[in-house]
Amino acid sequence: DLGSSLRGTLDKLRGQSRISEEDVDEVVKEIQRSLLQADVDVSLVMDLSDSIKERALEEEPPGGTTARDHVLRIVYEELVGLVGDSTNLPLEEQTIMLAGLQGSGKTTSAAKMAWWFSKKGLRPAVIQTDTFRPGAYDQAKQMTERAEVDFYGDPDEDDPVKIARDGLEATSDADVQIVDTAGRHALEDDLIDEIEDIEAEVQPDRSLLVLDAAIGQGAKDQARQFEDSVGIDGVVISKLDGTAKGGGALTAVNETGSTIAFLGTGETVQDIERFEPDGFISRLLGMGDLKQLTERVERAMEETGDEEEDWDPEDMLKGEFTLKDMRQQMNALNNMGPLSQVMDMIPGMGGGMMDQLPDDAMDVTQDRMRQFEVVMDSMTEEELENPRSVGASQIRRVAKGAGVSEETVRELLEQHKMMARTMKQFQGMGDGDMQRMMKK
């Protein structure tokens, strides 16, 4: 698990106020390993490494910043620079042409994007100009039906340029006209000729290159070729649900001087996300959402004061889980927001993980917490450390002391047991499990 070794390296910097060259080297090496594993181009990785090293050693950490936060921030900023912003897509009338090899996910992405625009209140239409692939018309028709958007195609016409022209006219009521094109198995001259002809006819406001996330370095030639023939304004990465990679798309972005527009994350028309640098970086590194996690922890620390200075959500995964831990975590979690959101940000614990928990394992409302606080205040140090040893007579004593029913004390112990069990479950997860979760 690459993310966890990077986290381990960063954790070693915790508590340090200065950072050595060796520390920086170690962090950079972990990042290199993650990025190369995700198929990011070697020269891009090297450039990034140099910038991180230079900045980490030369820039003065702002007052009060730890070495760890300083490095984390630089790493984050450099990665944002690497993946770039989201392609600018104003919610207005426009024509978008999709280009890419056969099987890259153009037709699927066309329907998904149409669905996406329709959810934004615009009226989209898909125009299918693929006369090369048998079944292309039926496929596009079906998918646009599922997306409940307008569609134009002509199964009896074999001139894609004519279909494009007729389609633009037939769907002129639509706000966003998405022109799907044919691909080929490889970059062949007739594909390039065809897409140039369609482009000349359509004169799209934006041309997007659709790439399979697993493409790797093959992306370079494709991107260059399409950039030279029609000009690429943005990249759509499809099939991100099937791979932890996606680095090839960065090569394409770099090669075309463009940005990433959308991510495809499944086979249905709703499986589309607008590209966001944060989430994508986390995916590349195999980590949870770095930026949000650090920000939230920082904010929570400010609110809970010095006492919980060293608290980190990931500590939940280590060691014995006592009532004291439970109290501390409930406090901090309440300052951070809904637990399910926090869990989503912890590496390896995305949505899939939450689904596996018993419904109420983590469901501690504010009122309930205040009650539990009072109960815990009436417990001895020994009882807080060893809640499992608390027997009936102790429950009676604590209930009386706290002014609550014995039932409430039992509920607290029950809640603790459930949380402890959940923590165990996380601890027991092997790397393979983690990876499977990450892919969900």
Per the annotation, binding residues for GTP are 100-107, 180-184, 238-241
Which string of x and - marks every residue 172-201 that binds ligand GDP (by CB under 6 A)?
-----------x------------------
Rounded distance, CA 155 to CA 145, Å?
16
Which string of x and - marks every residue 322-361 that binds Mg ion (by CB under 5 A)?
----------------------------------------
From candidates 49, 104, 107, 118, binder to Mg ion by CB under 5 A: 107
Regarding 248 and contact with ligand GDP (CB under 6 A), the answer is no
Regarding 106 and contact with ligand GDP (CB under 6 A), the answer is yes
Half-sphere exposure at residue 35, Cβ-oriented, CA atoms within 13 angstroms = 25
Regarding 204 and contact with ligand GDP (CB under 6 A), the answer is no
Residue 400 backbone class (left: φ over 0; alpha: ψ -120 to 50; beta: rest)? alpha
Stretch 411-430 residues interacting with ligand GDP (CB under 6 A): none
From candidates 103, 231, 279, 401, binder to ligand GDP by CB under 6 A: 103
List the one residue out of 404, 395, 393, 336 whose CA is nearest residue 368: 404
Tokens 């998904």 found at: 112
Beta carbons within 8 Å of 80's beta carbon, 6+ residues apart: 277, 278, 281
Q: Tell the smallest beta-carbon distance from residue 272 to ligand GDP (Å).
A: 8
Tokens 């390896």 found at: 348
Rounded distance, CA 351 to CA 371, Å?
29
List the one residue out of 369, 363, 299 whose CA is nearest residue 335: 299
Grouping H, G, I as helix, E, B as strand and the rest as coil, residue 358 is coil
Among Mg ion, ligand GDP, none, what binds residue 266 when CB lies within 5 to 8 Å by partner kind? ligand GDP
List the one residue out of 208, 260, 259, 215 whose CA is nearest residue 230: 208
Rounded distance, CA 312 to CA 299, Å?
12
Residue by residue, DSSP assigns 156-173 as T---HHHHHHHHHHHTTT
Rounded distance, CA 30 to CA 72, Å?
13
Among ligand GDP, Mg ion, none, what binds residue 241 when CB lies within 5 to 8 Å by partner kind? ligand GDP
Which string of x and - marks every residue 47-86 that binds Mg ion (by CB under 5 A)?
----------------------------------------
Q: Tell the smallest beta-carbon distance from residue 202 to ligand GDP (Å).
A: 17
Stretch 385-414 residues interacting with ligand GDP (CB under 6 A): none
Q: Tell the smallest beta-carbon distance from residue 268 to ligand GDP (Å).
A: 9
Please identify, using beta-carbon distances, which residue of 275 and 372 lies nearer to ligand GDP.
Answer: 275
Cβ atoms of 387 and 322 closer than 8 Å: yes
Q: Which residues are annotated as a binding site?
A: 100-107, 180-184, 238-241
Among ligand GDP, Mg ion, none, what binds residue 3 when CB lies within 5 to 8 Å by partner kind? none
Please identify, using beta-carbon distances, which residue of 61 and 264 lies nearer to ligand GDP.
Answer: 264
Rounded distance, CA 82 to CA 60, Å?
22
Among Mg ion, ligand GDP, none, what binds residue 239 when CB lies within 5 to 8 Å by partner kind? ligand GDP
Regarding 160 and contact with ligand GDP (CB under 6 A), the answer is no
Q: Contact positions toward Mg ion, by CB under 5 A?
A: 106-107
Q: Contact positions toward ligand GDP, by CB under 6 A?
A: 100, 102-108, 183, 210, 238-239, 241-242, 264-267, 271
